[in-house]
Amino acid sequence: MKNIKKAVLASAVSASVFSVPAMAEDTDFMSALKDGKASLSFRYRMEDVSQDTKNDAMANTLRTRLNFQSGAYKGFSGFVEFDQVSELLDTDNYSTPGNIIDNQAVIADPEVTDLNQAYGQYAYKGTTARYGRQRINLDNQRFIGGVGWRQNEQTFDAFSIKNTDVEKLTLFYAYIRNVNTITGANAYAKDHLVNAQYKFSDAFVATGYGYLLDKKDTDDANNDTVGVSLTGTVSAFEYRAEYAQQSAYKGGVAYDAPYMHLKGDYKVGGVKLGLGYEVLGADGADGEFETPYATKHAFNGWADTFLNTPDGGLNDLYASIGGKMGPVTGAFVYHQYTSDDDSVGPGDLGSEIGVVLKGKAGPVALLAKYADYSADDYGLDTQKLWLMASMSF
């Protein structure tokens, strides 16, 4: 079966990515295809959601991912990846963002078959250029990410270029024409992403960025974000200090909103203690700081209550403790939420606890996660439970 996978995917890459006709006699080119690597993975997930005033929801889904990475031919290579998300039980009963069922809680894992990635790449010395559908994960994915938590990933139809010719300096630029969302829908855009990182040492890494998002479907989602972060590790202490400013870009209501994130983690033996404070600011009633391309599940609580910044902005004070217990790695996280501007927002935005356990059973990676959001002046009390198993070949 492995040879069949390679043959089928090698043909797909040759035809759709390279677009080079009549190359059978070119042994170097064919060797690049034969030297490629195929991969197959499965990820099963059960997600259960209980939410005040809504009917409980449960989804049992399986993501099947098949991809092929070619070898290099004179610096050129190609990659293609297909995803399929399937419901495993007919009794699954839940809303998705693209299919809302009356009074049913949402689980953002619709059934979909998707060309997740398909790009051509050219690499020379410290420069790599890609064109096509690709994954883009920048920094901690607070602004640009693949939303890898969901069964269907977010990818971008884009041209990107990365350069590492200067020691310790990484430069990145991308022009995005289309966003392939987790629901399988397209969001057309004309976005520019610029990111520059310089590693002075392990203790001091500076990153500057500018993200100009111009969504063609709506002016309200357009924004211009410029910021800087300082990160590093000093002995057992790891930190992040970040600040950004966001304003309207090419249409929409004019606003200027700040972002701030301070975070520190300290390891004591096998235990990791964390404390953080994140602010998505507000400019009165004119607008709030938004991160439309972020991997949002990793921030502001796993219950995903704050996928959109509430009126008045969001302050998130959080603490965590984690470590390894035999073959199992676990963590506990607590969040306390308030409005950044309580003259516009509701003030107290509630709290959340989260617990996650990870381990392996032979080749199978296992995960259990639970989140419990307690509403105050905002949202609905929400409890979510996930059980997940994954393996790759």
pLDDT for the residue numbered 35: 80
pLDDT for the residue numbered 22: 37
Residue type, 259: Y
pLDDT, tens digit, 9 for 90 and up, residues 10-48: 333 333 333 333 333 344 767 766 788 999 999 999 999
Give every residue of the chain whose pLDDT is below 70, as ranges: 1-27, 29, 32-33, 90-92, 217-220
pLDDT for the residue numbered 90: 67
Count of C-beta atoms within a 10 Å radius of residue 38: 19
CA 208 to chain CA centroid, nearest Å? 19
Question: Is 0.75 topped by the overall pTM?
Answer: yes
pLDDT, tens digit, 9 for 90 and up, residues 237-281: 999 999 999 999 887 778 999 999 999 999 998 999 999 999 999
Q: What is the DSSP letter of 291?
A: -
Angle 17-21-27 from CA coordinates, rounded to 5°: 90
- Give one DSSP letter per residue of 176-198, joined into a string: EEEEE-TTS-EEEEEEEEEEEEE
CB half-sphere exposure, 237, CA atoms < 13 A = 8
pLDDT for the residue numbered 377: 82
pLDDT for the residue numbered 213: 94
